[in-house]
Amino acid sequence: MKNAIHYTKTDIIELFSSNFERHGIRLFVKREDQNHPFISGNKWWKLKYNLTEAQRQRKSTILTFGGAFSNHLYAMAAAARECGLKSIGIVRGEETNPLNPTLSFVREAGMELHYVSRAEYRNKTEPQFIESLHDRFGDFYLVPEGGTNDCAVKGCTEFGESLLREMEFDYLCLPVGTGGTMAGLLNAFKGAKKIIGFPVLKGADYLEDEIRKYAPLMNGALNHHYHFGGYAKTTSALAAFISQMDAEFRLPLDPVYTGKMMFGIMDLIQKSYFKRGLSILVLHTGGLQGKGQASSG
């Protein structure tokens, strides 16, 4: 069994614009989308110690959960293949053919897909439901939806510590799904840097409590105003913004996570939310396989 997934060190780039100059802001992007061709962005850090733990426990199969557009399933399938592990994905909702690009890749990477109803999926953390999965699939190492657990937070804390060594900045901004990455960064920064998370789900007020489970010092902020209707939902305005960012800065974004975050950052800059003289570091969390897959609404 292979020991680790490959990692490529990524760059921090600065974006230049007269708008930033006008507001006295410097904007940098950590291109973690380039750390691995398939296990990109924060997913690499969230899966690193989960894979190590699965191998320590001598598990040959990893089981996890996700929706039809899940970056997590995409990364998990690739990571399991790279480490010589079998993978099983419990997918929310009915199977729809032809498969979208994310699920097509997942299946091609060797992940066995098992679809459950949305009602069943809501039981994904219940012991009885987990036991039924063991009855069906046998022994496995369980990774929760989005990959957030103690192992994931440990990896994201390590990543946050590396950012502190890499450059000086005032704010760090990132998209938020389950909150594990933000929790790890909060633990790493220990209040020394300000963090703004941009939840991509509608009605995600519960996220602060979820983050506190792993980061008791919850001194970051969650901005819930840029979800564009909810997970994997988009609008023509968001699509146009993503195209503009690519044309102006050659910065590829996806409509599920990074596009929404960057739209929020640009809007806050325009509204003079950030004081003059500050530097903002943006975490590009990957997910570019999601480009073009979000639905309008």
Does residue 246 register a pLDDT over 90? Answer: yes
- When pLDDT is cut at 50, 70 and 90, the band that residue 94 belongs to is very high
Q: Give the residue-averaged pLDDT of 136-152.
A: 96
CA dihedral (197, 200, 201, 203) in degrees, to 10, reads 50
Does residue 8 register a pLDDT over 60? Answer: yes
Residue 212 φ then ψ, to 5°: -65, -25
Residue 288 corresponds to which tokens in the numbers above?
A: 């570019």
pLDDT for position 217: 79
Architecture of the CATH domain 42-147: 3-Layer(aba) Sandwich (3.40)
Q: What percent of the chain has pLDDT over 90?
A: 89
Q: Name the average pLDDT for the chain.
A: 94
What is the rounded distance in angstroms from the CA atom of residue 287 to the CA atom of residue 89?
18
Tell me: the pLDDT tens digits for 45-83? 999 999 999 999 999 999 999 998 888 999 999 999 999
Q: Give the residue-averaged pLDDT of 120-134.
A: 97
12-38+149-296: CATH number: 3.40.50.1100
Angle formed by the axes of helices 236-249 and 258-270, nearest 10°: 80
What is the rounded distance in angstroms from the CA atom of residue 226 to the CA atom of residue 235?
11
CA distances, 43 to each of 25, 40, 48, 98 (Å): 29, 6, 8, 26
- DSSP secondary structure string, 90-149? EEES---SSPPHHHHHHHHTTPEEEEE-HHHHTTTT-HHHHHHHHHHH-S-EE--GGG-S
- When pLDDT is cut at 50, 70 and 90, the band that residue 219 belongs to is confident
Does residue 296 register a pLDDT over 70? Answer: no
Span(s) in the chain for CATH 3.40.50.1100: 12-38+149-296, 42-147
If we measure between CA atoms, which residue out of 39, 9, 48, 47 comes closest to residue 285? 39
pLDDT for position 106: 96
CB 174, CB 43: distance < 8 Å: no
**Residue 294: DSSP 8-state:** P
Does residue 179 register a pLDDT over 70? Answer: yes
Residue 53 corresponds to which tokens in the numbers above?
A: 């733990």
pLDDT for position 77: 97
What is the rounded distance in angstroms from the CA atom of residue 224 to the CA atom of residue 200?
8
Q: Cβ–Cβ contacts within 10 Å for residue 30, how many?
A: 25
Does residue 4 register a pLDDT over 90? Answer: no
List own/partner pairs for 130-139 with CB under 8 A and 24 or more apart: 133/63, 133/90, 137/61, 137/63, 137/88, 138/61, 139/59, 139/60, 139/61
pLDDT for position 297: 46
Residue 293 corresponds to which tokens in the numbers above?
A: 């897959």
